Structure 1
Amino acid sequence: MVSITNLLKEPRHSQFIKKLIPWTIYALLPIALFRLYFHPVHLPDSPIHRTPQIIASSSSSSSSSSSSSSSSLSPPHFSPSSVHEEEEEVNAINETPCDYTDGQWVPDKLGPLYNGSTCGTIKDAQNCLAHGRSDLGYLYWRWKPHKCSLPRFDPSKFFHLMTNKHIAFIGDSMARNQLESLLCILASVSTPELVYTSGEDNKFRRWNFPSHNLTVSVYWSPFLVDGIEKSNAGPNHNELFLHRVNEKWAVDLDGFNLVVFSIGHWYLHPAVYYEGDDSIMGCHYCPGLNHTEIGFYDALRKGLRTTFEAVIDRRGSSSSNELGIFLATFSPSHFEGEWDKAGACPKTKPYKESEKKLEGMDAEIRAIEVEEVEEAKGRAKQSGGLRIAALDVTKVSLLRPDGHPGPYMHPFPYGNGGVGERVQNDCVHWCLPGPVDTWNEILLQIMNSWEQQSGL
């Protein structure tokens, strides 16, 4: 038998071998490519491909409103579009909820969602454009969560979710501020009809959008629980009955499909607290009265707990309509100086995250509100068709010192050409259009996630 060594020594076979080697490579190359295509080699994850650690309880990530806006917050050395798409893909796969509280304000070329000068429903003191505010930079910012996107408000989507339904804003002037924002946004595509008004300063109002039979109401109830508000003619303190809710809104509970509660600022005022019709628990800032000073934190917590207990108990487990309850968390003020001693809010740009931290009273109030929402969510599981969530807007609002009316709570405060010795500023409420519109964008995204989970 001829050995391989001898065979290779023969010139004829040597030529054959030289041809055989490249033919073999050509045959194996497509097989290798086919194998690599269907079974790729997995390399270790780079930081940009790791699953984001998102820790909140609201809604799923949604698509960005524009590619240009999402590029403004792109990490360095990575394509903005690819980073954004990667985050959304990861969130979608893992159904990770979006933490709308973790973000910052970024420039927005698109500007406001509506024209405040033609809206027709804005409270006069918050109509900054009509009152002559000329520094319009505050209108060109949008809130950008770090781990997900927050699309612009889509009125058609809101109407789809709320056709033949009733949404009520219940609480203090922050509830009214948010209500008027929503009305203006919706009125940009459909005209509402005012169908009911009552109370001093129109504190109880109701609108209907005939195009979708959507009812929108506002109820003045600055404590949510029953209370007697201080007045110029009476005592200079509020009286709160923390053991029972205010029936002015509670009596209509069965007719609501969605409720947004908003309280906080009125709890800062002097008050006497009752834990029974004739039993005084204590007071807050009540010199001259023979009551124990207990501050307002415990009263706020008890007022919220009473409110949620009333909602859950009255709903029971046999209600046919589904009900969503939101509590809008505390919206900090931005007075530089005492509010009643020429305090002002002169800033014209949002704070950066590193410039302003949530702390002190603002942080404590928000913590109480979030804790009470979580406690109520646990009890609400036994009540069919009831959802409870925090509309956590505290940080969103904290970083916007430029969004208040300031001196423009009055028309043309500097109309005489000079700055007066003292001009009263409003550094609590929000210009419309303004930052409060973002509250409704977050609200809609949570509603949208609820529909995706089980239908609102």
Structure 2
Amino acid sequence: MTTAQPQTLPSRQIQFLFTVALASLLILGSARIMLDNLKNNQNPFLRLLHLTKRDYKVVRLPVNVSDDEVIEDGCNVFEGKWVWDNVSFPVYGESCPYLVKQVTCRRNGRPDSFYQNWRWQPHACQLPRLNALKLLEVLRDKRLMFVGDSIQRGMFESMVCLVQSVIPEGKKSLQRIPPRKIFTAEDFNATIEYFWAPFIIESNSDNAINHTVRKRLVRLDSIAKHGKQWEGVDILVFESYIWWMYKPQINATFGSPYDVREYNVTTAYRLAMETWANWIETSIDPNTQKVYFMSMSPTHLWDWEWKPGSHDGNCFNETHPIQDPSYWGTGSNLHIMETVRDVLSQLQIDVTFLNVTQLSDYRKDGHTSVYGERRGKLLTKEQRLNPKTFADCIHWCLPGVPDTWNEILYAHILKDYRSKRNKLSPAPL
């Protein structure tokens, strides 16, 4: 009987097993070191993952702007008519969270909503529809600021409502830092802002909250304080009219802050515009900034202007635009319009004049009337029964007329963007 002898492993197998065991220990050790470093955030790969927006720059392709998205050369978008459109308009509703009570007419009791469904149609071309995402891309890393009075604030709120619906919740915000309001689109690093300056130049009505004063006083040669907050803004949109129209004369200083005199309003307005123009020429870089000036927003205080035979009515209870293409109401001052044109024509820096006055003059139906606020409070039932005294035929309901102003502004912004991009692009070989 033979006994089985134990078998011994060849030396090569022993060497192989030893190598595997050593490699396993090295792998386990390296893994342990890596885990420890991960906990301490010292691993280079982890640091790469934790880079912030400031640590890298994303290369983005230019925004494509097609021919049908800009105003055609030679086409006057300010000449046209209002057409009924209850399919495309309104673009947004009163549920937009950034509207103030002053402009939410339906919510405040207005029985009709017709004023929301009129679309401006130029005679010779099409007005491009506002594309919110495209506008935000053009505004990426930029500031758009509206400067002026409460009419301009309405335009600001209109613009915010036109774009805010495409921005996810948590990625948009509105800050109130008087005299500014700042809407931020976080993912685009863009802001749409409003700056309270009812006369553009400095005045005793510059407090954005408490600006009701018994005697208005403007400083016709003072703008530096305001200008500091406009410096570096990429797109500036100015407007100033209705606050000048309170009385035929206005108290003002020019030269000495202590020499208060009574000026004719049209004279004072020209001096103020010249002060503004000087700031534009000394403070704006036309290579990086763009300036627009809105023409005056008309009023509809007397309905005998469009309704022959009437004596004491106004914009109250109006539901349709004026159809007479030659209509020009007394609420639009031609001397002020001429002053603006004269000053802009002498500027060495290009400022685009957005002449929205006549197209808005047709819209006697678009005002807040008795469905707005007076001194921060909604009108009472008793006040609404007295539209002759309490109807507001100056401010506009939203959605409404200011949305069209923004569509025109949008078309110009796209046109300016494409023009600048074409200048920067190398010519084809």
TM norm structure 2: 0.71
Indicate the residue corresponding to 2:225 in structure 1. 247
Indicate the residue corresponding to 2:172 in structure 1. 193
Of residues 177, 180, 188 in structure 2, which corresponds to 1:204? 180
Say whether residues 1:425 and 2:357 are aligned partners.
no
**Counterpart Cα distance in 2 of 1:343 and 1:188:** 35
Query: For residue 211 of structure 1, what is the amino acid of its counterpart?
Result: D
Indicate the residue corresponding to 1:214 in structure 2. 190
Structure 2 spans left out of the alignment, 5+ residues: 1-64, 305-311, 423-429
Answer yes or no: is the 8 Å Cα contact 2:205–2:213 preserved in 1: no
Query: For residue 427 of structure 1, what is the amino acid of its counterpart?
Result: C
Indicate the residue corresponding to 1:228 in structure 2. 204
* Offset, 1:277: 2.2
Structure-2 change in CA distance of 1:233 and 1:453 (3 Å): closer
Indicate the residue corresponding to 2:356 in structure 1. 393
**Counterpart Cα distance in 2 of 1:412 and 1:244:** 35
Query: For residue 399 of structure 1, what is the amino acid of its counterpart?
Result: Y
Answer yes or no: is the 8 Å Cα contact 2:301–2:331 preserved in 1: no
Instruction: Look up the SS of the partner of 1:428 in the other structure.
Output: strand
Max radius of gyration: which structure?
2
* Offset, 1:235: 6.5
**Paired positions, count:** 341
Instruction: Look up the SS of the partner of 1:143 in the other structure.
Output: strand
Deviations 1:155-195 (A, max 9, x none): 12211211110001111111101000000000121156335
Alignment of 1:8-407 (within 5 A): 63=68, 96-191=73-168, 193-194=172-173, 196-199=175-178, 203-229=179-205, 236-245=214-223, 247-248=225-226, 250-270=227-247, 271-278=250-257, 280=259, 282-283=261-262, 294-315=263-284, 319=285, 322-336=288-302, 344-354=315-325, 356-357=327-328, 361-376=332-347, 379-380=348-349, 387-407=350-370
Query: For residue 193 of structure 1, what is the amino acid of its counterpart?
Result: K
Deviations 1:25-70 (A, max 9, x none): xxxxxxxxxxxxxxxxxxxxxxxxxxxxxxxxxxx99649xxxxxx
Answer yes or no: is the 8 Å Cα contact 1:227–1:246 preserved in 2: no
**Counterpart Cα distance in 2 of 1:336 and 1:302:** 30
Answer yes or no: is the 8 Å Cα contact 2:204–2:217 preserved in 1: yes
Structure-2 change in CA distance of 1:359 and 1:130 (3 Å): closer
Answer yes or no: is the 8 Å Cα contact 1:61–1:98 preserved in 2: no
**Counterpart Cα distance in 2 of 1:399 and 1:344:** 11
* Offset, 1:431: 0.6
**Counterpart Cα distance in 2 of 1:178 and 1:419:** 25
Query: For residue 295 of structure 1, what is the amino acid of its counterpart?
Result: N
Query: For residue 237 of structure 1, what is the amino acid of its counterpart?
Result: K
**Counterpart Cα distance in 2 of 1:234 and 1:148:** 43
Deviations 1:108-143 (A, max 9, x none): 132434433221111211111211222111111111
**Counterpart Cα distance in 1 of 2:253 and 2:318:** 40
Which of 140-149 and 110-119 deviates more?
A: 110-119
**Counterpart Cα distance in 2 of 1:173 and 1:412:** 16
* Offset, 1:342: 8.2
Structure-2 change in CA distance of 1:234 and 1:206 (3 Å): closer
Query: For residue 309 of structure 1, what is the amino acid of its counterpart?
Result: N
Aligned-residue CA RMSD in angstroms? 3.3
**Counterpart Cα distance in 1 of 2:401 and 2:190:** 24
* Offset, 1:449: 1.5
Which of 227-236 and 434-443 deviates more?
A: 227-236
Which of 229-238 and 218-227 deviates more?
A: 229-238
**Counterpart Cα distance in 2 of 1:227 and 1:415:** 35
Structure 1 spans left out of the alignment, 5+ residues: 1-59, 65-87, 284-293, 381-386
Instruction: Look up the SS of the partner of 2:317 in the other structure.
Output: coil
* Offset, 1:429: 0.9
Structure-2 change in CA distance of 1:359 and 1:61 (3 Å): farther
